[in-house]
Amino acid sequence: MANMHKVSFKLNGKGVEVAVEPRELLIHTLRERLAHTGPHIGCETSHCGACTVDVDGMSVKSCTVLTVQCDGSEMLTVEGLEQGGVLHALQQAFHEEHGLQCGYCTPGMLTRAYRLLQENPNPTEQEIRYGIAGNLCRCTGYQNIVKAVQSAARKLATAPAVPA
Amino acid sequence: MGDMSELQEREQKLQGMGTSLLRKEDAKFIRGQGSYIDDIKLPGMLFGAIVRSPYAHARIKGIDKSKALACPGVVAVLTADDLKPVNLHWMPTVGGDVQAVLADKKVCFQMQEVAMVLATDRYTAADGAALVEVDYEELPAIVDPEKAMAPDAPVIREDIADKKEVGHGPRTHPNHIFTWEAGDKAAADAAFASAAVTVREEILNPRVHPCPLETCGCVASFNKATGTLTLHVTTQIPHLLRTVLAMLSGVAESKIRVIGGDIGGGFGNKVPVYPGYVVATVASIVTGVPIKWIESRIDNISTTGFARDYHGVGELAADKDGRIKGLRFSALADHGAFNSHVSASKLPAGLFSICTGSYDIPNAYCRVDAVYTNKAPGGVAYRCSLRVTEAVYLIERMMDVLAQKLGIDKAEIRRRNFVKAEQFPYTTSLGWTLDSGAYHPALDKVLKAVDYEGLRREQADKRAKGELMGIGLSTFTEIVGAGPTKVCDILGIGLFDSCEIRVHPTGGVIARLGTMSQGQGHATTYAQIIATELGLPASDIVVEEGDTDKSPYGAGTWGSRSTPVSGAATAQAARKIKDKAKKIAAHLLEVAEGDLEWEIDRFKVKGNPSQAKTMKEICMVSHTGNLPAGMEQGLNAVSYYDPPNLTFPFGAYVCVVDIDKFTGETKVRRFYALDDCGTRINPMIIEGQIHGGLTEAYAVAMGQQIPFDENGNHLGNSLMDYFLPTAMETPHWETDHTVTPCPHHPLGAKGVAESPHVGGIPCISNAVIDAFAHLGVTHMDMPHSAYRVWQQCRALGINKR
């Protein structure tokens, strides 16, 4: 316990500083120290993607990243998608296309889809399926998630969202 | 008044039944504001970590807590000996057995709960758990249920070795749990003796796990000052769980509050009462501080709520035209180390006797023998009613086996045996009364949609070229909506369900129900029912479930029972309110009730439509003194609904697969699913449920299985090994429907979320096996992974280039 490390990073645009043990996983820091309970724990082995957050422009499974590895980084979680009271096009599209049921995978799925559309603003269905293959959903069968990502991509193409 | 566009506008405002209203639930989830179990954080909360057995079968010779207790931050270590003084080291199961809460002298499956370490944070709790030293003496394990009843088999449950029965009739061996039978064996045997043709196949429903994305867990919080216990918990059955806790703990049921919160998927896994909940509860009662226990994924797959493990034998007898004369199905059921199998008291094999399916079968007999093995205990219904997937899998597979034997087309053999429209209500030879159905039109619609004849021609061409293409059919009947209290109870409590509706002066509504959503969209669907029944907009209707302090008693959400039972309770409660509203309207309009008619959102006087009172107006008046003589204020009602029968959703599915005979890889090229769930309340939600159910069917058929080695070691308990399909593997689903309303349900609805799982699994299996049918293959066990399909190709000698 004595061996605490100070780590600072930008979380959804705001600077934060935490003191953590070297072994502490990012998901626990976010959820238990920083009250960001959007990202969830599903498998602890990087398979399910419920814990996906965006670190320095990459989708990262926060259940298998140490918090000390994130010093100085810029981080985006689902809580940072809504800007100025306006939902991100992906959040709106997941609602409109019934792209969620129990909601447990949704924060990770949205965060992953956000990065996917940054990298490829106009993905084909196959590219979306490949792009979200690191995020598991047990409820929807993915079909409406794919539709939601396509719909958001179309909307963003006509009216780009405020960069988060 | 009466203008069509004006009527339409009023109707649309309600967003009632039949509209694809977007979900009310979504707003919090898309913002990451759900409140799941691990999001609960209470002041002073300790974390519990469970110490688990590395052996499948062993004696515990000693437990040394000292090193764990010396670890800074560790507060306590609880073992069976610590629970003994409060008599909670064992707990009764709904199956009539007992289950060790923490292992008492012996462990009977790998990963069994041995101790719980309480610590100030989850890392320290895990450290502490690693420091608990348990001295084991390993014993021989039974993994194969076929070997459980051998004369010299090791006795798994020494605690009940002398018991003549454990809940369900006489036992014949210390590892025997029960034998259950249904139907007329003599009549079935006679039908087989005189039949032109008989077929027999051994068919396995392997051990699988529902694996919701959120694991199980709880936060137990006992207040020593008030004597009240609050349990936040991942449960599909909050009220039944409260009753169980009251029975176990001795705390008055009125002082226990169970809160379901948001549930990250259930699929049956969150029905049982798990040892972790009980230990956390006891620990909170003892320490007076809140205790959180959260399963890891490995804990979840290894120990809580497996499904299936039914080792079946199917037999059909038919005349030369394929008309079935007799059915004999049996299953050896592996219930693991304790009979904590989830089922209604009188139905130890669940609803397995629905195994005559959609077919008119005059003579049938079925039997299930359940045994103990050294595997995790239980048996939950994974996205199905109790043992319905097992039953439907057997009959839908056997229809294909019979068709192949007789050289009759697989669609045609179904058509010849369907219960005909004019036969409903139809009582099966195993005793269920199918209330409604229209099987022929459903199948015809699907065959036309996929051009079945064209597919068969294409298949013939491919076979001529040595390619493998399979066409699978499934024309299933489900049984859901448990259930009539005369048929189904758990711990003596009938499986009715409930709805309480409170209407506020300005027309806002709160409805509270005994069910528990895990993603099914109840807050939206129930609101739509009330919107249509009461003429008040769904947008102003709030639905609450899962908090036992708030909602009326009900049996929860499983077995597709929410719409069939609670949906009915909702309609009944709304109708009580509407009856009162009508009296108020008559009073206000100074006419007799009989002079009024209902129109969307108001009562109007027949023949004088300008004279009307809207529900909104009546809501306000019901809270004033201007009421009929003797009437009380308020516009509230509660309804407890005991359905007269279960409901029988059905469907017709077609699956087309292409198989690479060199690699065994199977591609689902097309899957067309027609479902008939009766009246459709929210088509968007229904379609979403079908997509999800089909995907879980695909998971089971193509990859899920929980394997063990001969010592009972679990060989696949993380997502590294256990198959959950990604967006890449998951096929594209095509959906369709017919509507045959349920005659006994107030809304005509039947329940839908499990049909695609139940009907989808045999459809995919039938497609894979059909690809090999011309080579004489009649059955291949699931899961149809590439390796296993390739083995079939190799056995046939067709895998060589």
What letter represents residue B787's amino acid?
Y
Q: Is residue B444 part of a domain?
A: yes
The CATH number given to whatever domain includes residue A153 is 1.10.150.120
Residue B367: CB atoms within 10 A of its CB come to: 18
Same domain, B278 and B343: no
Q: Is residue B199 part of a domain?
A: no
Q: Which residue in B30, B46, B301, B522 has the most chain A C-beta atoms within 10 A of its own C-beta, making it the best mutation to test that interface?
A: B30
Same domain, A96 and A152: yes
pLDDT value of residue B801: 86
Task: Tell me the chain A residues in contact with residue B518 when contact means C-beta distances shorter than 8 Å.
Answer: 102
Same domain, B766 and B658: yes
pLDDT for B95-132, tens place per residue? 889 999 999 999 999 999 999 999 999 999 999 999 99
Burial B391-406 (b: 16+ CB within 10 A, else e): bbbbbbbbbbbbbbbb
Beta carbon pairs, A and B, within 8 Å:
173
Same domain, A95 and A71: no
pLDDT band per the 50, 70, 90 thresholds, residue A164: very low
Q: Do B213 and A144 touch (CB under 8 A)?
A: no
Q: What's the total number of domains in chain A?
A: 2
Q: Which residue in A138, A144, A150 has the most chain B C-beta atoms within 10 A of its own C-beta, making it the best mutation to test that interface?
A: A138
Q: What is the mean pLDDT of residues B28-35?
A: 98
Same domain, B86 and B108: yes
Let me know if A85 is exposed, middle or buried by CB neighbors in 10 A (0-12, 13-18, 19+).
exposed
User: Domain of A33?
Assistant: 5-79
Same domain, A72 and A103: no
The CATH number given to whatever domain includes residue B118 is 3.90.1170.50
Whole-angstrom Cα Rg for chain A: 16
Whole-angstrom Cα distance, residue B702 to residue B760? Answer: 11
Same domain, A63 and A111: no
Same domain, B718 and B574: no
Which token pair is B400? 């294909």
Q: Do B297 and A44 touch (CB under 8 A)?
A: yes
SS3 of residue B631 by DSSP: coil
pLDDT value of residue B57: 98
Whole-angstrom Cα Rg for chain B: 28
Q: Is residue B151 part of a domain?
A: no
Q: Is residue A115 part of a domain?
A: yes
Q: Is residue B221 part of a domain?
A: yes
Same domain, B611 and B666: no
Same domain, A136 and A74: no
Q: Which of B641, B670, B694 is at the close of a domain? A: B641
B491: pLDDT strictly greater than 50: yes
Of all residues in chain A, the one with the smallest CA distance to B30 is A91
Angle among Cα B233, B236, B241 to the nearest 5 degrees reads: 65
SS3 of residue A63 by DSSP: helix
Same domain, B723 and B739: yes
pLDDT band per the 50, 70, 90 thresholds, residue B342: confident
Q: Which residue in A104, A110, A125, A149 has the most chain B C-beta atoms within 10 A of its own C-beta, making it the best mutation to test that interface?
A: A104
- CB contact set of B8 (below 8 Å; sequence gap of 6+): none
pLDDT for B522-563, tens place per residue? 999 999 999 999 999 999 999 999 999 999 999 999 989 999
pLDDT value of residue B483: 82
ω into B783 cis (within 30 of 0): yes
Same domain, B113 and B233: yes
Min distance B226 CA to chain A CA atoms (Å): 29
Q: What's the total number of domains in chain B?
A: 3
Q: Is residue A40 part of a domain?
A: yes
The mean pLDDT value of chain B amounts to 97
User: Domain of B594?
Assistant: 4-34+497-641
Going B154 to B159 to B161 to B167, the CA torsion angle's sign is negative
Same domain, B13 and B70: no
pLDDT for A66-78, tens place per residue? 999 999 999 999 9
Going A42 to A43 to A45 to A48, the CA torsion angle's sign is negative
Same domain, A9 and A75: yes
B249, B83 in Cβ contact below 8 A?
no
Q: What share of chain A is helix, strand, coil (3-state, %, to 5)?
A: 40, 20, 45
Q: Do B727 and A138 touch (CB under 8 A)?
A: no
Q: Is residue A14 part of a domain?
A: yes
Q: Is residue A164 part of a domain?
A: no
pLDDT for B150-199, tens place per residue? 999 999 999 999 999 988 899 999 999 999 999 999 999 999 999 999 99
Q: Do A95 and B26 touch (CB under 8 A)?
A: yes
Same domain, B634 and B723: no
Q: Do A138 and B33 touch (CB under 8 A)?
A: no
Task: Tell me the chain B residues in contact with residue A151 when contact means C-beta distances shorter than 8 Å.
Answer: none
Of all residues in chain A, the one with the smallest CA distance to B697 is A141
Same domain, A22 and A52: yes
Q: Is residue A163 part of a domain?
A: no
Q: Which of A36, A59, A79 is at the close of a domain? A: A79
pLDDT band per the 50, 70, 90 thresholds, residue A2: low
Same domain, A108 and A150: yes
B527, B541 in Cβ contact below 8 A?
yes
Q: Is residue B181 part of a domain?
A: no
Tell the residue number behind the tokens 């780590």, with chain if given.
Answer: A7
Active site residues of B: 236, 383-384, 754
Same domain, B105 and B249: yes
pLDDT value of residue B2: 55
Give, in order, the Cα–Cα distances in Å from B442 to each of A138, B287, B404, B674, B762: 28, 60, 23, 7, 17
Q: What is the mean pLDDT of residues B764-774?
A: 98
What letter represents residue A34's amino acid?
L
Of A128, A28, A122, give the one whose Cα is nearest residue B728.
A128
Which token pair is B606? 């027949």
pLDDT value of residue B609: 87
Which token pair is B369? 């023998």
Tell the residue number behind the tokens 């926060």, with chain if given.
Answer: A62
pLDDT band per the 50, 70, 90 thresholds, residue B1: very low
pLDDT for B395-424, tens place per residue? 999 999 999 999 999 999 999 999 999 999
Task: Tell me the chain A residues in contact with residue B520 when contact means C-beta distances shorter than 8 Å.
Answer: 101
Same domain, B507 and B621: yes
pLDDT value of residue A160: 57
Q: Do A100 and B34 touch (CB under 8 A)?
A: no
Q: Do A40 and B733 touch (CB under 8 A)?
A: no
Partner-chain residue, chosen from A39, A138, A142, that has the shortest CB–CB distance to B213 = A138
Ramachandran assignment for B572, one of left (phi > 0), alpha (psi -120 to 50 degrees), beta (any other): alpha
Share of chain A above pLDDT 90, in %: 95
pLDDT for A13-34, tens place per residue? 999 999 999 999 999 999 999 9
- φ/ψ of B641, rounded to 5, equals -110, 120
Same domain, B311 and B396: yes
Q: Is residue A84 part of a domain?
A: no
Same domain, A60 and A112: no
Whole-angstrom Cα distance, residue B199 to residue B394? Answer: 13
Same domain, A71 and A110: no
pLDDT for B569-600, tens place per residue? 999 999 999 999 999 999 999 999 999 999 99
pLDDT band per the 50, 70, 90 thresholds, residue A162: low
Q: Do B123 and A104 touch (CB under 8 A)?
A: no
Which residue(s) pair with B181 in the sheet?
A: B367
Q: Which residue in A31, A101, A136 has the most chain B C-beta atoms within 10 A of its own C-beta, making it the best mutation to test that interface?
A: A101
pLDDT value of residue B787: 97
Same domain, A14 and A71: yes
- φ/ψ of B502, rounded to 5, equals -120, 125
B333: pLDDT strictly greater than 60: yes
Of all residues in chain A, the one with the smallest CA distance to B722 is A47
Q: Which of B591, B626, B641 is at the close of a domain? A: B641
Whole-angstrom Cα distance, residue A66 to residue A25? Answer: 4
Task: Tell me the chain B residues in contact with residue A21 when contact means C-beta distances shorter than 8 Å.
Answer: 123
- CB contact set of B380 (below 8 Å; sequence gap of 6+): B210, B268, B269, B271, B272, B305, B306, B307, B342
Q: Do B520 and A145 touch (CB under 8 A)?
A: no
Q: Do B719 and A31 touch (CB under 8 A)?
A: no
Task: Tell me the chain A residues in contact with residue B296 when contact means C-beta distances shorter than 8 Å.
Answer: 44
Query: Mean pLDDT lowest for which of B238-242, B338-342, B595-599?
Result: B338-342
The CATH number given to whatever domain includes residue B534 is 3.30.365.10
Q: Is residue B200 part of a domain?
A: no
Same domain, A36 and A93: no
Q: Which of B641, B673, B698 is at the close of a domain? A: B641
Task: Tell me the chain A residues in contact with residue B685 when contact means C-beta distances shorter than 8 Å.
Answer: 98
Min distance A125 CA to chain B CA atoms (Å): 10
Q: Is residue A162 part of a domain?
A: no
The CATH number given to whatever domain includes residue A43 is 3.10.20.30
Task: Tell me the chain B residues in contact with residue A146 when contact means C-beta distances shorter than 8 Å.
Answer: 727
